[in-house]
Chains A and B, each alone.
Chain A
């Protein structure tokens, strides 16, 4: 039985993150698009919603919390996963209370993120 492909969006203003995450997440056959600028990512989202959005919390122009809020306003079923630069409980708390699915602290292995995505995908299907 073929699993349905997930559409995943990755937003991080450090290009190393997207560059490394894209191939790692595509291994499971999901569709991954990466963005370094939040606004561009949001514009893309307007055209076509994504199942999962992975976004960094600290970015120059627009921060992850704002992205979270705007994504959920557009599509409440989308699961948003926040990347925190360092373990900050406060930020994680704010993100969770605003509806983020979960968070992950840098540095992390793509497999760790994949485990969270797998959980999110299970919830999407149920």
Chain B
């Protein structure tokens, strides 16, 4: 029978097609699962140690999935990518090495004395402040008051026993301080409430009682001071003043004060500081320091280096009568004493709190001899520690000096700003001069005056910010501003410490004269020379300031596993480096395989190309976009060469198309009218038809099946990918979205990416944004929700098309996101 062999051939061809289809589905399905593992890992690594068994298990699972995906890709491409195997086995090998290096955490004590202990304590256990104090007590044993620390192990136990870790984790995820202040506040408030209401495990209460009693033997009936001692605090990051302190606590109230200090870990300042500094929750468990109160007649801070380069041989002592906590918070000015740093320190100058040199007020609560004694101690400490320091001190009624805290002082400007620091500018006179340099460097930008009403999230990137007082509340804006000018201010307050950490050019104590800057547009600041000019002064400085801000805020995570697993290096599929050999991380391998598998379906460079071409159909639409469809399971009119969107029986395609073709979408239909008379060829070129100036990978293609859609589109210079599985069940449904590129400047593309991020997040997607690359996902939602998500994506694809040319400033991002979410699409046309 002549037909029989043909039938067999047809059948074989059909099975061959079927197997390719199933291979692609399997690969994409694994891809979805692998991306889920990646995002879970990224979140887990913020909360779990990298050497934890759970991390190891997910990574092994991830690599196994990736290996199977590589096998599937090779089935699709006739073994064109076998070099991937080598890469994948090597990844597994290298991650194994990292796990081996990880240490297993042993049983840790709940409490430790900070002085008089033999074994050097682990800073990760007692926190930075307690560790600093421990080191100080080694050198100055009789000057550091006794105390004990409730360790991070106690903190972890308290969280665990109250079921709080996961709940806190949920609230801290995707928390954005800059765009939604209310949401931010309500979440941090909830966490603080949980901690204050937590039940303190018995072993913790017992430890607090026992240790307090030990100290009470030498300090009977003492009141207590409780201070935070977070891990990382006073180390690489100062966290100065970010956490709360509880003073004058009676012994019977220690437990509730303890919880109060722990809750302070989640105060708005501290949380936003951590978000800005990109510090992970896992790296900052909270230890708490318990010390008997010193009843001081004077207290303050000493810096072993003055910050103004011209006076490098002097030290500054700041002092107030009584307790110093209001001063270090910037709420109360202190008296400043400049002391020469020679072999025998000498008091050179006294600047009273009122900042008025002619004032007759004298600091009579502290004798000059005491100041010199403190200065000598500080010089000694600087020698012993080997770096410049700031040290908190107190003098009690018996004139005994106590050292309460010591940390490293950061006063080195970043390289970027040292460059050309001493070049002379034009010979114009400064508008304003004076004050104290807190951090040197030059900057320029628009002036913003902070008032109590200012919404900090509205302060634009790169602004020169003017404030009356250096309040710790301003910490969240430091990472994004160009310079900071303060009328009052105390160079030893917490905010000053933070300013140095963020390396923001800054002058304090400029006085009321600063008000003359009101109404000025752009100003230039030279914090090194303590001078402020109106207008633009140094060419190129604004760009370098913005670059500094951008690099500071880039959410680059680090960690032993980050580079091997999470980091995405292969972002541009058109780049020559988009090769298996360039894959450095698991994420790279995934990205590479995904791209190659989709390409292979369209047979680019494939011998079977013509076979697949036959299977592809043209999508007939009234809209100015062109699509070729590959129909995997005859869900789009078998036999036809062109189909209408309505004839495509694919659930996810229909949902996406509902969004794209929505009547309210601002499609430029006027184009069609205007170009009605134009030759077809020309129109095709303009509208991105198949004869347009494009490479193979630019083609708009969609792969569809009844429950599946994979769409790759290149509209107006950007690249969009939608990959979705939608069926009546829930478990296997997913919607993935990727968006990248654009024709506008980096800044504008970045803004569009942030717009997408904001809309997608608020529409229930998980989102990851790296520069202008936005990846979003919604997995395991019922059919209805998944379809709605696709409809939103369809609308977004239309509305965001040319948004990179529209979003002129940062405020626009939120505005346009609101328009979109409220359904006001006209604005996008």
Contact = CB atoms under 8 A, between A and B. Distances in A.
Q: Do any beta carbons of A and B sit within 8 angstroms of each other in the complex?
A: yes
Interface of A: 85-90, 92-93, 96-99, 102, 119, 122-123, 126
Interface of B: 163, 167, 170-171, 173, 183, 186-187, 190, 197, 199, 730, 764, 780-782
B44 to A, nearest CB: 14
Contacts of B190: 96-97, 99
A47 to B, nearest CB: 28
A96 B190 CA distance: 8
Given A86-B782, A92-B170, A93-B173, 19 more contacts: A85-B782, A86-B730, A86-B780, A86-B781, A88-B781, A89-B170, A89-B173, A93-B170, A93-B171, A96-B167, A97-B171, A97-B183, A97-B186, A97-B187, A97-B190, A98-B186, A99-B190, A119-B163, A123-B197
Residue of B170, B173, B197 with most chain A CB atoms under a 10 A cut-off: B170
Contact of B780 (A87, A122, A126): A87
Contacts of B781: 86, 88
Contacts of A85: 782
B170 A96 contact: yes
16 contacts: A86-B730, A86-B781, A86-B782, A87-B780, A93-B170, A96-B167, A96-B170, A96-B171, A96-B190, A97-B186, A97-B187, A98-B186, A102-B167, A119-B163, A122-B199, A126-B199
Nearest to B730: A86
Nearest to A89: B170
B432 to A, nearest CB: 45
Contacts of A89: 170, 173
A82 to B, nearest CB: 13
B480 to A, nearest CB: 25
Contacts of A122: 199
Of A90, A92, A122, chain B has the most CB atoms within 10 Å of the CB of: A90
A102 B166 CA distance: 11
Contacts of A98: 186
Contacts of A97: 171, 183, 186-187, 190
Nearest to B778: A90
A119 B438 CA distance: 51
A76 B167 CA distance: 19
A86 B197 CA distance: 29
* Most interface-central of A87, A97, A122 (chain B CB within 10 A): A97
Contacts of A119: 163
A81 to B, nearest CB: 13
A103 B197 CA distance: 19
Across the A-B interface, give the 8 residue pairs with the lowest CB-CB distance, nearest first.
Answer: A97-B187, A93-B170, A90-B764, A97-B190, A97-B171, A86-B730, A97-B186, A96-B167
B205 to A, nearest CB: 14
Nearest to B765: A90
A7 to B, nearest CB: 21
Contacts of A123: 197
Nearest to B194: A96
B176 to A, nearest CB: 13
Contacts of A99: 190
A119 B197 CA distance: 13
Contacts of A102: 167
Contacts of B170: 89, 92-93, 96
A123 B197 CA distance: 9
B46 to A, nearest CB: 15
B196 to A, nearest CB: 12
Contacts of A92: 170
Contacts of A93: 170-171, 173
A126 B162 CA distance: 13
A41 B497 CA distance: 54
B727 to A, nearest CB: 14
B570 to A, nearest CB: 29
Contacts of B782: 85-86
B750 to A, nearest CB: 25
Contacts of A96: 167, 170-171, 190
Contacts of B173: 89, 93
A121 to B, nearest CB: 13
B766 to A, nearest CB: 8
Contacts of B187: 97
A99 B193 CA distance: 10
Nearest to A122: B199
A90 B763 CA distance: 10
Contacts of A88: 781
B190 to A, nearest CB: 5
Contacts of B764: 90
A122 B319 CA distance: 49
Which of A85, A86, A93, A119 has most chain B Cβ within 10 Å? A93
B127 to A, nearest CB: 28
B411 to A, nearest CB: 40
A5 B689 CA distance: 72
A119 B162 CA distance: 10
